[in-house]
Every structure is written in structure tokens, then in C-alpha cells.
Amino acid sequence: MQGITIGANVLLLINILFAVTIVFLERKNPGATWAWLMVVFFLPYAGFVLYLLIGLEGRKRNTFIVKSGMDRELFKSYSASDFYVERAGALEEKYPNFECVWPDSDWCAHNGLIFLNFVGGLGFFCDDNLVEVYHDGNTKFEKLLKDLESAKEFIHLQYYIMRNDELGAKLISVLAKKAGEGVEVRFLQDCMGKPRGHKKMFEPLMKAGGFLGIFLPMYLFRINYRNHRKICVIDGTIGYIGGLNIGDEYLGKSKRFGNWRDAHVRIEGNSVKELNLRFIMDWNYTRPDNIVPLSERYFPPTKDFDGVKMQIVSSGPDTRWPNIRDGYIKMIAGAKRSIYIQTPYFVPDDSIFETLKIAGLSGIDVRIMIPGKPDHPFVYWAALSYLDELVAAGVKCYKYHDGFVHSKLVMIDSQVTSVGTANIDIRSFKLNFEINAFIYDKEITAKFEQQFFEDIAHCANIDREFYDMRGNWSKVKESVSRLISPLL
């Protein structure tokens, strides 16, 4: 009996040492520290194993410092290239500095956002883009496949999830065909999102001369630091960015979710170069044996449309600042009339949460939409706990029930839209590699807002009555999920 007691005390001491270790390792993030301490004490020993597998940063700092350095060197080469210098000179003549893109009118409120995205996120301001908006996968992939068929020089594809299904097979077939015709085809796939049997699935592409890169192979089970970016660049003149991955579920064919609502854009114009630059940065990190040089082949002259103004902004472990999160905060804080948010995962950090509450209390029309059919229950319950406080601050909140809403949209004042891959959650802000387009255009924003209000017709209100009627068990789930939200 005494031996059992001694053994239990030893194990307790080990668990305490584990907890102390976490405190020191997570000293820069108090929220994550307390969340992990709770996991360790409520799940003794198993909690620390979980921390080692999915929480420990390991070699992250060194690994991504190297990538960040590579990216900066590539950007320096890009910014010294003739096509960049010519564009910068033209914009400098047109807009003497980025703080004065709109010296007058109600648009001038967004000059600070443009400057922030340029200085912090290296988001080059382009005012010559043609943009098409997609709200579902069927129209997007129909157009994408046609564009791929017309490729002459190269195809650069980067996706988080690729399914081994009908859509995935159709895409590989087109890519293999183009590679066989002599088109350079590169496909960058995140390791966690790769399809089952990916080697066999990509085999036709590889045999035809295409190239495959697997981002950050998972030597251990690790859900952090995933490349969540979705980029397609065709011949340097056409680009795609948004929330849609590749799979039949994104066409609304999932039995679990049914209709799939999302947001994606097709771009022609100089912003395509910014998409291609980001692809090359990620590709060179993944495949150093297949470096893509900066040349006119990959950055050809594009048509100068008298069109949409935008910036392409990236963020992640490979950037100094949380650029997309900072852009969201700047948008929300600068809004005068309206803020509309559509996101599948709403687990905001304190800065965004407080800014939204202040906006609601200031009388701004703030509306937030999340899925009514969640794919991650803990994230859903955590979201409800945050929305409870926002409802009290006057924010209108909704649960979408006509399938699944996967759009990552922030729209303000019917003028500016951010669309891309970043959710309103800590994982998107700190752990994943993300990319968004910040679009300064009333017509494009109107298209997204129109769809947003059409979606409200398929929503249930999350209001005071909703919270008053929920049971105690729901309150417990929300409270526990809120406590561990820094880990979600």
C-alpha cells in the first residue's frame, strides 16, 4: 500500500513538473498557458503527451525564421525587378504615397488600411484588376477548369485539402494533359490535407512531367503550422484566391453538409503577380531542388484594366506580423456604418473581440454569420460563448442552416471586402499560413453583401431568446470550450 502511495506521489510530482515546463515554454501566451495547464491537470500524463504532439513549437522558430529570410530575399529580388520598379513608379506618380490613395471623399478613411497592408504585409497596391466573384464551388471550378485548359506556359496550384474523388480526379486529368503538352505544372499540397493514396493519385501528373510539393511533412502527428493558402496562377495573367479546397464536398455533394456556401474570386491584372510571388515563396521552401527564377516568364506583362483596387496580403509563422488579423482589426475599427462577417470558425482573440463589442455599442450595424451545422463542435460551442457577449453589445448574429457556410469574409461600409483563407480564429491568426485579398471596390463589395443578405434568409437568429432558452448542459459546453479556445 505504501509503495502505491509513493508511486502516486511520484507521478503527481512528474505531472507538476510537466505543468511547470509548459509555463516556461508558453510564457509569451498566458491564454494558451492556462488552457494547457487545465488540460494537463484534468488529463494527467495524457495531457502532456497531447502537448508534445500538438502544442509544442519544437523547431518552429528556427524553421520559419529560415523561411522568412528566404521570402525576404525573394521579395528584394522581386522589388528590384524591372516590372516591379515600373509599376511602383507609375503608382508613385499617380499616388504620391500610399497614405494618400484617396486624399478626399469618404474613401480616405481606408488609406491607413492600405498603408498597413503595404508596410506590414508587403501587400502591393494595384488599381488595375478585373475581378469575378464566386459564391459556390460549381461555378468556380467550372471556370477554373476552362482556364487550366487554356494554359500555355505554366500552372501554379496551391491547396490545403485535395480529395481523391471525382473533382480531384478531373483536376489531375486536366493537369496531366497540360503537362504532357509542355506546360509547366506545379502542385503544392499541404501534408495534412493531402488525399488518401496521394502518390497514386498524382502519378499521372508526375509521369507527364508535372511537379508535386508536399508542404511541411508530418513526421509526428501535428495539426499546427499548416499551409491553409489556396492559390492558383495560370500563365501569370489569371489568378484565383478564396476559401474553396478541391473535393466533391465543395460542390455541395456531401451527405453530411449538403449545400456548400463559400467565397472565391478570379483575378486578372497586376495582383496576379502578388499571388504568384507568394506561391513561389512557399514552393521554394518546400522544393529547394526546383527553384523558380524571377523572370518575365513567370511575371509577364498584364493588361492594365481601369478596374478594381486591391492588395494581396499573407500572414503566418513565416511573417513578422499577424498581417491579416491586423487588417481585420483596422477594418473593424475604421468602420463607420456597417461590418458584416461570415466565417465557419469564430474564436476571436481579445483585440478583435473587444473591437467588435465597441463597434456594436457604438451603433454600427454589425452582423456575424457562422454555420448551424458545425464540423468542429468545440469551436462551435466556443463561438456561441463569444457571440453571447456580442449579442448583449447589439451585434446581430446568425446560424446558417442551408448546408455549410465556409466563406471567410469581412465587409465594411459597403466599400471594402477581405476575402481569402483566414478565419476569425487564433489558428488562422497565429498558427496557419494564410492569404487574403483586400478589395477596395463598391461593386465587388455589393456582390458579397447581396449574397450575405440572401444567406440571412436561411439562418436562425442567435439572439437573447436563443441564449435564455438553452439548457445547463449547453452552458457547460460553452464554458469549457471557451476555456480551451486558445488551443482550438
For the annotated catalytic residues, the residue numbers are 228, 230, 235, 406, 408, 413
The stretches of 81-120 forming alpha helices (DSSP H) are 82-94, 111-119
Report residue 194: phi and psi, to 5°: -70, 150
Strand partners, 130: 268
Note whether 265 and 437 are within 8 A (CB): yes
Give the other-Cβ count within 10 Å of 28's Cβ. Answer: 7
Note whether 260 and 250 are within 8 A (CB): yes
Between CA 392 and CA 180 the distance in angstroms is 59
Task: Tell which residue, 118, 89, 141, has the closest CA to residue 440.
Answer: 118
All 3 cell numbers of residue 287?
Answer: 522544393
Angle of the 166-180 helix axis to the 198-207 helix axis, nearest 10 = 20
Task: Tell which residue, 86, 452, 75, 458, has the closest CA to residue 302.
Answer: 86
- Cell numbers 471567410 correspond to 408
Task: Tell which residue, 324, 415, 411, 402, has the closest CA to residue 367.
Answer: 411
Q: Classify 147 in phi/psi space as left (phi over 0), alpha (psi -120 to 50) or beta.
A: alpha
Helix (H) or strand (E) holding 325: helix 323-334
Note whether 452 and 388 are within 8 A (CB): no
Note whether 179 and 185 are within 8 A (CB): yes
Task: Tell which residue, 325, 451, 337, 331, has the closest CA to residue 400.
Answer: 451
All 3 cell numbers of residue 445?
Answer: 463589395
All 3 cell numbers of residue 73?
Answer: 530575399
**DSSP label at residue 269:** S
SS3 339: strand
In one letter, which amino acid is 415?
A: Q
